[in-house]
A and B are shown apart, each in its own frame.
Chain A
Amino acid sequence: MKPRSAALLGQAAIVVALGLTMLSAARDQARSNALTSFRHYRPDWEESWRTPVEQLAAVTLARQLPHPEQDPELVEAALSVMRRSLSWYMKAPRLAQMLREGIELRIAHGEVNGDALHTAFDMLEFAESDEVDTYRGRIASLAGDRNAAAAALAEAASKLQSLLGMPGDDQAVARLGLAWRDLLAVHQGRTMNWLARQLPVIAAAEREATEAMVAQVRALLEPYLGKAPGGYGETLPDEAMLAVLERQSVDINRTQPRRQESLRQARLVLAECAPHYHFEPVIDAACTIALRYHAIPSGGLLIVLSVCTALIVGLWYAITRLFRGPMPVDVNAETMENVEPIDLDTDAETKSRSSGSITDIG
């Protein structure tokens, strides 16, 4: 290939890149325009305004409904236009049919991750399909039979409830954490999904586990909060309250280091298995402050000192050796002075060390 052809190819590549940029920007702008139109749509607009937006919504839905999870925001906005349009009752069965076909197709192709069908199912509900309950059951069944794991979780939860604030509650928390993780884990290649978690047996077990863990967290937090009034948890934390919590947590963490570790474990399990559970603001603030480190752990101090020492000593050693210059050369050894330099096939010539120029910086 000649250099001229290569230059032409390069220019063509740049033109393609420019085209892609414009195409991407245009698609982005088109999506943004469509979203704006859908959001401002009003059914009481005159027909000449409504029709183009409804047509755009219909086209968007026809394109996106087989895979609504690719752009749920746009699909939902388009569906909301269709729902408010006068032709909704005529078009609803067709839209629901398209969504059902999409779900069926994915289940037939061996989809085992029910959560991947979340958006499609939400849209089916949104489209007011009659078969929502049927699909709820079918998607829930994708997670497989988890009744045994749910029973184990419920048992672990009741065990923890009976041991709250007593010796051995740490083990009960650990057991509950294991049982909960097992319930949510992949079983025989099937993943847990949001609809399976809503099944009565599983939902009840998870509710019991959440209550037990919340009670455990509150029990562990009691010394930090002190003799707080009953309504303490309902208020927002103010600066003075935070300062008191900070002071108390320093004392308690020093005298009862295991309490902080237990609290950390309990919060970890809750955050992992029930991420949507939120404590009241004061409890949340107390928990955050109680879990704070008020001194760097000795292991951490050791690590940072070792790393800093290694880097500083390494830097100092490298600098001193660098400034000292090359090691003495053994005249009998094979070096660049008495050995033919590497056949470089280059126009560069090797400089002798003794004749270093002012730009010789190495």
Chain B
Amino acid sequence: MNPFRARWPDRAGFILSIVGVSMGMGVVHQQPYAINGVELLVWLIALVSLVIPALVLELAIGVIFQGALNESLRKSNKRLEVIGWVSAGVAFLALVAAGAVVGDLGVSGYESLLATLSDQPLPWGVQPGVQTPAHHTVGSILVAVSAVMAFINLRLWRGAPSISRTARIAVPAGVIALITLILALSTRSGALDGMARWLAPGPEGWGSLVSLHTWGHAYAYALSTWMLGLGVYTAFGSYLNRSSDVTGITGVAVMASGLCQLLLMLAIFIASGLPGAANVAPSPGITIAVVPTAIAAVAAPPWLRGVLASVWFAALLAFAMPALLALAEAVVAPMVDKFRVPRERVVAWVCLAAYFCAALVAVQHGHAWQVGGDAALLACAAVLTAILGLSTWWRVDVDALQRHLNAYSAFRVGLGWRIFVGALVPIGAVAVMVDQAVGRLAASTPAPSTPLGGLHVLGACTILVGLIVVAWVISRLPGRGA
């Protein structure tokens, strides 16, 4: 065991970190995971059939090879190292997008706090034409994004222990804030209506259970909220001891995340039934649109509306922080593992680069870029998950993985897991990419006069090709850890 490798201080912190990643990515994507009862059922199936097998695989690779995805894959097979670097690149892009969104959330939270302190109405949903708190001045967003990156820089220096400490505070705080908000809103007129609409089987009834589109939606949400394939969990797993019970930890983390995600959905849909709430539609912006507009229209004194909005944005920020740290870790860990450079230096450079790119994204008009950007990231995550799954048949010694998992776990993984990981997960991921990611990417509306706004299939492919070239170049560099 490498005595210098940072370790998770305890199991609870590690599990909460995983919960924080899934919750935070849900916040960043700003979409609910299921918008009707049938989708909720299918989402549960997606958790079991896609997330658990793929998560066990990613964590197991990190635990066994004790390295980030690039190093772990290199130890398994030198030709696979490039996949690890592509994953790190995509994780960097995800970090940029997440940084921009969280900066926006931070400004909205600050505005809510100001409204509370000054006893003024919330600055959205009151004037006609100002529907959501999505449009802020460039200066305020830049300040917020720099604060976010500074936070990541300070928290990530010490690696896993810092992530664990952050998650131990942020995730319970977020859950408490969510429960408070649910209790406060559930007594209002219309709350039951929102909940019933959410749980009703949907406009097509139970027939949508056999619709491929429903399954595509659920799998896409599962894939994008868990950010599988980006090396986050391999980096996390590499800070566990090799004798850790990966399967058991995964089971606990996924089930706990599922319950937390249910809470987030409940809050959104309770708010959606209140008078004045923005319409629920499966598009980016729902998290930031529905609840704040509903709160702004609640019949209560302005300061109370400000408090409720502050609680909501505090919950979102609390969930987003572990996710940001995890994405940054997925970029930092490969560099530290390969080149053995001081961690502090890598963290600082990654945060600086992410700040400039996030600033570039954040100053774009509105959130039009997010449809294309989300879809592109989803496509990358789907492809990388599929490749990782397929590589278990092709290059990674899956027998050894299975033996190791079973030797230290309270759960046995067998042929079923291998079939899921090697066949069903790749098939599901590719299906998601074709049905959801490419469709959304093609349909993304180009925003006027912005370089990133008109992101479409060609632009995404160009970025991906550039990423692969850079990843190949880096994988050819001699590493100090080799």
- Partner-B contacts on A (CB < 8 A): 1-3, 6, 9-10, 13-14, 17-18, 20-21, 23-25, 27-28, 31, 70-74, 246, 268, 288, 292-297, 299-301, 303-304, 306-308, 310-312, 314-315, 317-319, 321-322, 324-327, 329, 334-337, 339, 341-342, 344-353, 356-357, 359-362
Given A3-B477, A24-B363, answer yes or no on A342-B40 (Cβ-Cβ < 8 Å): no
Q: Mark B359-400, 1 if CB is under 8 A from A, else 0.
A: 110011100000000000000000000000000000001001
Query: Pick the contact of A14 from B67, B240, B352, B365 — CB < 8 Å?
Result: B352
- Pair B412/A24 contact, Cβ less than 8 Å: no
Closest to A288 in B: B275
- Pair B410/A324 contact, Cβ less than 8 Å: yes
A1 to B411 CA separation, bound complex (whole angstroms)? 45
Given contacts A306-B41, A362-B246, 18 further A-B contacts (CB under 8 A): A14-B356, A20-B360, A24-B360, A70-B446, A293-B192, A293-B200, A299-B200, A299-B206, A303-B201, A310-B44, A317-B251, A322-B245, A322-B251, A326-B410, A335-B406, A336-B407, A345-B75, A353-B243
- Pair B196/A360 contact, Cβ less than 8 Å: no
- Pair A362/B407 contact, Cβ less than 8 Å: no
A sample of 15 inter-chain contacts (CB < 8 A) reads: A21-B360, A31-B449, A70-B446, A74-B449, A288-B275, A294-B193, A295-B196, A300-B201, A314-B254, A314-B258, A335-B406, A344-B66, A346-B65, A360-B244, A362-B244
Contacts of A335 in B (CB 8 A): 403, 406-407
A300 to B37 CA separation, bound complex (whole angstroms)? 6
- Pair B409/A326 contact, Cβ less than 8 Å: yes
B interface bracket (residues with beta carbon within 8 Å of A): 35 or more
- Pair B10/A307 contact, Cβ less than 8 Å: no
Whether B473 is near chain A, meaning CB under 8 Å from some CB there, is yes
- Pair B353/A17 contact, Cβ less than 8 Å: yes
Whether B414 is near chain A, meaning CB under 8 Å from some CB there, is no
Closest to B480 in A: A3
- Pair A361/B255 contact, Cβ less than 8 Å: no
Contacts of B79 in A (CB 8 A): none
- Pair B477/A361 contact, Cβ less than 8 Å: no
- Pair B200/A297 contact, Cβ less than 8 Å: yes
Minimum CB–CB distance from B171 to chain A (whole Å) comes to 15
Contacts of A308 in B (CB 8 A): 259, 262
Query: Pick the contact of B258 from A311, A326, A350, A353 — CB < 8 Å?
Result: A311
Minimum CB–CB distance from A353 to chain B (whole Å) comes to 6
Minimum CB–CB distance from B310 to chain A (whole Å) comes to 27
- Pair B37/A303 contact, Cβ less than 8 Å: yes
Minimum CB–CB distance from B206 to chain A (whole Å) comes to 8
Interface centre among B273, B365, B403 (most CB of A within 10 A): B403
Contacts of B439 in A (CB 8 A): none
A9 to B449 CA separation, bound complex (whole angstroms)? 29
Whether B2 is near chain A, meaning CB under 8 Å from some CB there, is yes
Whether B199 is near chain A, meaning CB under 8 Å from some CB there, is yes
Minimum CB–CB distance from B280 to chain A (whole Å) comes to 14
- Pair A13/B353 contact, Cβ less than 8 Å: yes
Shortest beta-carbon contacts, A-B, top 10: A362-B244, A300-B199, A293-B196, A318-B251, A322-B248, A315-B255, A71-B448, A321-B410, A336-B407, A303-B37
- Pair B259/A294 contact, Cβ less than 8 Å: no
- Pair A10/B349 contact, Cβ less than 8 Å: yes
Contacts of A3 in B (CB 8 A): 339, 477-478
- Partner-A contacts on B (CB < 8 A): 1-2, 5, 7-11, 14, 37-38, 40-41, 44, 64-67, 75, 138, 189-190, 192-193, 195-201, 203, 206, 240-246, 248-249, 251-252, 254-256, 258-259, 262, 273, 275, 339, 349, 352-353, 356-357, 359-360, 363-365, 397, 400, 403-404, 406-412, 446, 448-452, 473-474, 476-478
- Pair B473/A362 contact, Cβ less than 8 Å: no
- Pair A361/B8 contact, Cβ less than 8 Å: yes
Contacts of B258 in A (CB 8 A): 311, 314
Closest to A32 in B: B138
Closest to A310 in B: B44
- Pair A299/B44 contact, Cβ less than 8 Å: no
Query: Pick the contact of A314 from B189, B255, B349 — CB < 8 Å?
Result: B255
- Pair B41/A326 contact, Cβ less than 8 Å: no
- Pair A28/B363 contact, Cβ less than 8 Å: yes
Minimum CB–CB distance from B51 to chain A (whole Å) comes to 12
Minimum CB–CB distance from A270 to chain B (whole Å) comes to 15
Closest to B353 in A: A14
- Pair A361/B450 contact, Cβ less than 8 Å: no
Minimum CB–CB distance from A320 to chain B (whole Å) comes to 9
- Pair B248/A321 contact, Cβ less than 8 Å: yes
Closest to B257 in A: A311
Query: Pick the contact of A361 from B11, B352, B357, B360 — CB < 8 Å?
Result: B11
Closest to B201 in A: A299
Minimum CB–CB distance from B238 to chain A (whole Å) comes to 9
- Pair A336/B408 contact, Cβ less than 8 Å: yes
- Pair A294/B192 contact, Cβ less than 8 Å: yes
Contacts of A337 in B (CB 8 A): 407
Query: Pick the contact of B7 from A74, A336, A359 — CB < 8 Å?
Result: A359
Minimum CB–CB distance from B99 to chain A (whole Å) comes to 13
Contacts of A296 in B (CB 8 A): 192, 195-196, 199
Interface centre among B138, B196, B248, B403 (most CB of A within 10 A): B248
Contacts of A6 in B (CB 8 A): 473-474, 477
Closest to B190 in A: A292
Closest to B352 in A: A14
- Pair B400/A342 contact, Cβ less than 8 Å: yes
Minimum CB–CB distance from B50 to chain A (whole Å) comes to 15
- Pair B473/A1 contact, Cβ less than 8 Å: yes
Query: Pick the contact of A303 from B41, B193, B360, B407 — CB < 8 Å?
Result: B41
Minimum CB–CB distance from A328 to chain B (whole Å) comes to 11
Closest to A301 in B: B199
Query: Pick the contact of B1 from A73, A326, A349 — CB < 8 Å?
Result: A349
Contacts of B359 in A (CB 8 A): 21
Contacts of B251 in A (CB 8 A): 314, 317-318, 321-322
Minimum CB–CB distance from A75 to chain B (whole Å) comes to 10
Closest to A2 in B: B477
Contacts of B40 in A (CB 8 A): 303-304, 307
A311 to B199 CA separation, bound complex (whole angstroms)? 17
Query: Pick the contact of A360 from B193, B203, B241, B365 — CB < 8 Å?
Result: B241
Contacts of B357 in A (CB 8 A): 17, 21
- Pair B196/A25 contact, Cβ less than 8 Å: no
Contacts of B406 in A (CB 8 A): 327, 335
